[in-house]
Amino acid sequence: MTTDLWEYRPGSHPAADLTLVGYEVLATDGPVGRVEQDAGDHLLVDAEPWVPGTRVLVPAGLVARLDHLDRAVHLDCPRARLSSAPPAAVDLTAPHPR
């Protein structure tokens, strides 16, 4: 089974009228930061607590589950994997190749 990195996994997608902005992002090995922008196919995360002055793109396919009570996005990868994500300077309005 293949998973498109830019699509939410079944069961992990937020409700259509719900934004994840402000949610805490947690990797398997610790906190990453807070969601700054929810673009549908990826999240822009202010990773200040993890790496000062850094913003990272988190593809929707890395989201394992959402916890709306705790306002948290749980990823299924360690923080080191996010270091290979595209730089936040990319055009966030451009569609991702599929």
Whole-model pTM: value is 0.80
State the Cα torsion 26-28-31-34 to the nearest 10°.
Answer: -30
DSSP assignment of 26-58 equals EETTEEEEEEEEE-SSEEEEE-TTTSTT-EEEE
CA 25 to chain centre: 7
Question: Is 24-80 CATH 2.30.30?
Answer: yes
Domain ranges in the chain are 24-80
**pLDDT for residue 67:** 93
pLDDT tops 70 at residue 61: yes
The pLDDT score that the predictor gives to residue 85 is 67
Separation between Cα atoms, residue 16 and residue 54, nearest integer Å: 28
pLDDT in tens, 10-56: 777 666 668 899 999 999 999 999 999 998 889 999 998 778 888 99
